[in-house]
Amino acid sequence: MPTDKGPIVILALNGWADAGASGSGLAEYLIDHYEGEEILRIDDERYFNFQDVRPIQRMRAEGMSIDWPAVILHRLHLPGQDVILGYGSEPSLYWRTFISEFQASVKGLEPSVVVTLGAQLVDIPHTRPFPWGVYSTDPQLVADHPQIEPLEYNGPTSALAVLCAELDAQHIPTAQAWVSVPHYVADPPNPKAQLALLEALRDCFGLELESDGLPDASQTWEEQITQLTGQSPEIGTYVNQLETAFDDEAEQESNSGQVVEEIEKFLRDLGEDRD
């Protein structure tokens, strides 16, 4: 996706809609991997319940310091790409006030698109590729990018989804990138899920993001989980069942895709014959 129309804004908040801290983990990876500078910090104590999201104590040479929960916008220095990354903790309180403040800052960046990152717990095995999907309510975004599907979800939602609704109302294109994570490995970190979200950003928005270290970390993570699950016959059997179900569904989707291709080819050939 060209960035001459404005930056691509990527948002990931650790919380309810970020299983395994997958999106926020990818944000931390990008912050560590690329140079950049902070351009906004929202740490108003009205927005956070410090018993749920506790401040972090850090010991430094000059003494102890406290990192308070916050939502931060950070401009990444990527060659030929204008990318702004938003990360931090999902607010606990006063969502409407927070969203009003945050969306004004995001809107002021004049973004070409705002992409949120999320992860959900599902019944899949850790030994298979983690499915990801990108969804949007913007018809033009869906039409221009075959990988992006219309957003049709109804149900409980996150602060980032509320932000998307506010931005949509102001005609700023938004998209939600989601990755599926095995429910039995919900604890962070999850480099395999981070890598899947990185692939989604690459494939759907043309971002040339490096993945140095993530593939190896993903492989190591998978091997460690396999070793742990192998210590329990019951869990091992359950994982095998998930693998069988995953493979069967993938085969059915492949066969369905082949049928659709054959039908489309038949219709094209039929049209050519009539001409």
Tens digits of residue pLDDT in 146-162: 999 999 999 999 999 99
Tens digits of residue pLDDT in 115-137: 999 999 999 999 999 999 999 99
Judgement on whether residues 145 and 262 belong to the same structural domain of the protein? no
CB 201 within 8 A of CB 209: yes
Q: Look at the chain and report how many structural domains it folds into.
A: 2
Instruction: Calculate the alpha carbon distances from 46 to 21, 97, 147, 236 in Å.
Output: 23, 9, 39, 46
Q: Give the whole-angstrom CA distance, residue 118 versus residue 180.
A: 9
- Residue-range definition of the domain harbouring residue 261: 230-274
Instruction: Calculate the alpha carbon distances from 20 to 35, 86, 174, 214, 241 in Å.
Output: 25, 18, 23, 15, 22
Tens digits of residue pLDDT in 162-194: 999 999 999 999 999 999 999 999 999 999 999
Give the per-residue pLDDT at 251: 80
Q: Give the whole-angstrom CA distance, residue 177 versus residue 188.
A: 18
Judgement on whether residues 116 and 235 belong to the same structural domain of the protein? no
Mean pLDDT of the chain: 92
Residue 136 lies in a domain: yes
Residue 219 lies in a domain: no
Judgement on whether residues 173 and 38 belong to the same structural domain of the protein? yes
